[in-house]
Amino acid sequence: MLELTERYCAAGADELVFYDITASPDNRSVDRNWISSVGALLDIPFCVAGGIRSLADAEEILNAGADKISINSPAVARPELISELAKRFGSQCVVIGIDSRKVGNDWKVFQYTGDEQRSRNSERATLEWVREVQERGGGEIVLNCMSQDGERNGYDIDQLCSVQELCTVPLVASGGAGSMRDFEQVFSATRVSAALAASVFHSQEISIPDLKQYLDAAGIEVRL
């Protein structure tokens, strides 16, 4: 993990997000020692997600060296958590992760998606939830479009555009990146603030410096 961290830093990643995706379904939260080690190495923003259910969880993680905390299933279970975190730490470090996909004609928010056995439709409408999390003080939204996630067929432009229309806070696209063109498309077709990807970087199929050069050549502003 620390090796990956160093590699991404050197490659010019703009932010590192660590998701302990089985933390919520396993009813635990993310490892603090790990956060301290990564935080000591990183000189770019560092966001941590995984089973953060209380102010005390959040405070420990921020004190260990994270800049932002991202909450997903626990916020769906108890939306007041968003307001409490924003009041205590400021909206700027409260990121809301939303796992969403189409059920019938509506996008719905899913919980516990880190474990296939426990993943479930929360019955909340995604667009409604996007409005609520902002009213409660969420400072950034990461929209993980589940039907795209892991498929590498490109980001869900349609869903991202619909959510973007309701967003006054930064929106980060997640789920579906398979090629450099997918990144180019999400930045040309939507106004998202950033695009997140995992597998294509971990597998080294796409190198971050190459991707940034490609986006720059396509006229998209990137930090080179």
Partner 1 sequence: MGAQRVAIVDSGANIASLRNALERIGTHGLFTLDAKIIRNASHVILPGVGAAADAMQRLNDYELADVISELTQPVLGICLGMQLLATSSEEGNVRCMNIVPAVASILSAGSGAPVPNMGWCRVSQLGVQVLFAGIPDASYFYFVHSYALPVSGFTIATADHLEPFTAVLAKDNFYAAQFHPERSAGPGARFLKNFLSITS
**Residues near partner 1 (CB under 8 A):** 9, 12, 14, 36, 39-40, 42-46, 59, 62-65, 67, 88-93, 139-140, 167-171, 191, 193-194, 223
Least CB distance from residue 47 to partner 1, whole Å? 10
Nearest-approach distance from CB 1 to partner 1, in angstroms: 17
Query: What are the structure tokens assigned to 69, written together?
Result: 């905390």
CB atoms within 10 A of CB 155: 27
- Closest contact distance (angstroms) between CB of 55 and partner 1 is 10
Cβ-based nearer residue to partner 1, 150 or 209: 209
Contact between 160 and 191 under an 8 Å Cβ cutoff? The reply is: no
Q: How far is the CB of 139 from partner 1 (least distance, A)?
A: 5
How far is CA 33 from its chain centroid? Answer: 21
The amino acid that residue 140 corresponds to is E
> Which positions ≥6 away from 111 have C-beta within 8 Å?
24, 72, 73, 76, 77, 99, 119, 120, 122
Residue 122, SS3?
A: strand
* Least distance in angstroms from the C-beta of 50 to partner 1: 18
> Please, which residue, 30 or 146, has the CB nearer to partner 1?
30
Q: Give whichever of 65 and 77 is closer to partner 1, judged by the CB atom.
A: 65
How far apart CA 213 and CA 209 sit, in angstroms, is: 6
Closer of 63 and 204 to partner 1 (Cβ): 63
Find where tokens 């869900």 sit.
Answer: 156
Q: Which is nearer to partner 1, 58 or 146 (CB)?
A: 58
